[in-house]
A and B are shown apart, each in its own frame.
Chain A
Amino acid sequence: MTAHVERRPGAARRKSVFRRAWESRYMYLLILPGILFFLIFRYIPIYGIQLAFKTFRASLGITLSPWCGLENFEYLFLNSDFWVAVRNTLLISLYQVVFCFPFPVVLALFLNEIRLARYKKFVQTVYTFPHFLSWVLISGIVMNLLSSSGAVNSLIAALGGQKHQFLTDKALFRSILVFFLAWKESGWNCILYLASITAIDPSLYEAATIDGANRWHRMRYITWPGISMIVVVTLILRIGSMMDVGFDQVINLYNASVYDVGDIIDTYIYRITFQRAGNFGVSTAVGLFKGVTNCILLLSANGICKLLGEEGIV
């Protein structure tokens, strides 16, 4: 068996590359559609990034439009709306890491301790459900709940409080984003942790029980250390993707009165391009700014995960 395995690489080396390529011709056939997809829909747009340094003329197309140097970036960096969008992106991201990230971990630890199997299955089904609905739909529900005539306000009024315009309140908008993100995605995100809890060796629990550990001790000294690595890796990757804060959620929930606090880079690009007579060069420049920052952050996050001996992004 061992001899068989060891002989293989040697045998492969003797054949020429072309011979091996011909022998695996079916493999190229299998990856062809996927590769074509990536070339067309992912790589051609990367070619189009040159627009960031050009003045776009629709009649000339991307390739023939005249170069303009760093003009687009100069315009951008002097534009206060752009910096507002950058600040909002980073702040919302920070809030998400602080408030949305730990909740699924706690949820998984608690769910794991439930011994009523049917109840556990039921609540998990409930928790995961909102993940499969679009933000368009959820935003409809949220806007109704929080509207001046909605359930939340009438509850406040019934309890003797003052009605409040939640969705146009600058002080509350980010909190609303964070709350409903946790509401929608926590159940889904805790699946990963629950799965890694099931991978913990049961004999550890047995040994601890014999030594007199109670449920809390077992959660604290076995379950938590058992998943802490995956929590750390997920956290690093989450921080690495801090430029993505959920375009779908923001664009469906925000409105003109909270642009100051809710406009993120993605919505900013959409607004300046499609809601006004857009300058495609400037918009591409914003995209490139985001792309490069994102790339550096992700690569660093991935590198840190690899240093920790974990898999990283994929």
Chain B
Amino acid sequence: MTRIRSHARRPRSGPIQRTTFFDILNILFTALFALIILYPFYNCILLSVTPQHIYAREPFMLYPKVLTWESYYVVFENRVLFTGMGVTAMITALGVVYNMILTLLLAYAFNKKFPLRSFFLYMILFTLYFSGGLIPFYLLIKDLGLMDNILSMVLPTGVSITYMTVMRKYFAAIPEELEESARLDGASELVILFRIILPICMPMVVTFCLYYGVERWNEWWYGMLFIKNAFKQPLQLVLRGIIQAAGSTNTSSHLLEAGIIPFNDGIKMASIVITMFPILCVYPFLQKYFVQGLAIGAVKG
């Protein structure tokens, strides 16, 4: 039996498989798409370290001929981006804790049986299908007194139903016996959740912390709606201001004389690189958790 199986498996992974035309085509196709994704980022980083007069002459570059940190100096001196980064760091820290607590508790509890369970579950699922829309939501935040308060970018994004569902499936795959034995030892529900279930779910917890974290880091929309105070605006909103500002490649002299530094392309790209930097740092190392994606529950369940 074992012999037959090992014989049958050999063609898939053994040395018998030769590199075919298909393989080469496949590598070319996938590499091309990877290049199409990478080039805009490469170009962006390149522009941020290129002097503007050189960029104006030769916008399509493959490698930097002259390096300058000028654009970064301007961004660092201006400081608006860093005020935004502080706000966003705060939103991300508060938001992830808030998101994870709410979502984990719901996901765990909905795997248990208790009266009115399906009522509450359907109450939540209903919001997937129907929502009040922007205006009533806007008025609610106004009535709650959250205008110009950074909590307006934290509290309204509590639970992602998709993430909750994936978590539920993940919890459901944990063997029942584990909880039973803990219960026999006299552990309460909360002890079971925090001391027994969560520790063995760490990969899932890390994954969703990252997802929620990235979402909070990318927050700009509620900031645009609710935050008027420039010092409370999140990073992405500040970045949006810089990007959307009319800029010019050639720094016009009368603006410079007036002390206004126009957001030229170099400054815009430098701001983008700085905004992207934290994700760029974290992503390759935690890639495993990021790329697990929602498949983490899809295959198990």
Contact = CB atoms under 8 A, between A and B. Distances in A.
Interface stretch (B65-73, B198-206, B236-244, B252-260): B236-244
B269 interface: yes
B249 interface: yes
A134 B294 contact: no
Interface in A136-155: 136-137, 139-145, 147, 149-151, 153-155
A34 B133 contact: no
Contact of A45 (B131, B218, B293, B299): B131
Nearest to B56: A149
Interface stretch (A88-96, A167-175, A191-199): A191-199
B162 interface: yes
Interface in A278-293: 280, 283-284, 286-288, 290-292
A144 B269 contact: yes
A305 interface: no
Interface string B44-86: 1001000000001011100000000000000000000000000
Given A27-B114, A140-B239, A291-B130, A37 B37 contact: no
**Interface residues of A toward B: which range?**
35 or more
A114 interface: yes
B33 A48 contact: no
Given A110-B30, A125-B291, A37 B158 contact: yes
A257 interface: no
Interface string B3-37: 00000110110000100101100110111011011
Contacts of A24: 112-115
A307 interface: no
A171 B291 CA distance: 36
A313 B165 CA distance: 10
B283 interface: yes
Contacts of B139: 48, 51, 62, 280
A298 B59 contact: no
B188 interface: yes
B291 A33 contact: no
Contact of B59 (A21, A116, A151, A188): A151
Given A113-B26, A206-B8, A215-B20, A248 B221 contact: yes
A27 B109 contact: yes
A140 B272 contact: yes
B8 A192 contact: no
In this complex, the member of B9, B131, B162, B225 whose beta carbon has the largest number of chain A beta carbons within 10 angstroms is B131
A129 B239 contact: no
B131 A142 contact: no
B261 interface: no
A43 B105 CA distance: 20
Contacts of A144: 43-44, 47, 265, 268-269
B105 A31 contact: yes
A246 interface: no
B129 A299 contact: yes
A202 B13 CA distance: 12
B174 interface: no
A210 B8 contact: yes
Contacts of B221: 248
Contact of A298 (B20, B129, B136, B190): B129
Interface string B113-150: 11111001001110111111111111110010000000
Interface in B245-301: 249, 265, 268-269, 271-272, 275-276, 279, 283-284, 287, 290-295, 298-299
A71 to B, nearest CB: 16
B133 A27 contact: no
Given A28-B114, A154-B59, A283 B135 contact: yes
Interface in A242-257: 248, 252
A314 B162 CA distance: 7
Nearest to B103: A34
A127 B115 contact: no
B105 A143 contact: no
Contacts of B291: 124-125, 128, 191
9 contacts: A37-B159, A44-B132, A45-B136, A123-B30, A127-B37, A133-B218, A149-B265, A283-B134, A314-B161
Given A46-B131, A49-B133, A134-B220, 13 more contacts: A30-B105, A34-B158, A35-B124, A48-B135, A51-B135, A114-B30, A123-B34, A132-B283, A191-B293, A195-B299, A206-B8, A269-B134, A287-B135
Interface of B: 8-9, 11-12, 17, 20, 22-23, 26-27, 29-31, 33-34, 36-38, 40-41, 43-44, 47, 56, 58-60, 101-103, 105-106, 108-110, 112-117, 120, 123-125, 127-140, 143, 155-156, 158-159, 161-162, 165, 188-190, 193, 214, 218, 220-221, 225, 236-237, 239-240, 242-243, 249, 265, 268-269, 271-272, 275-276, 279, 283-284, 287, 290-295, 298-299
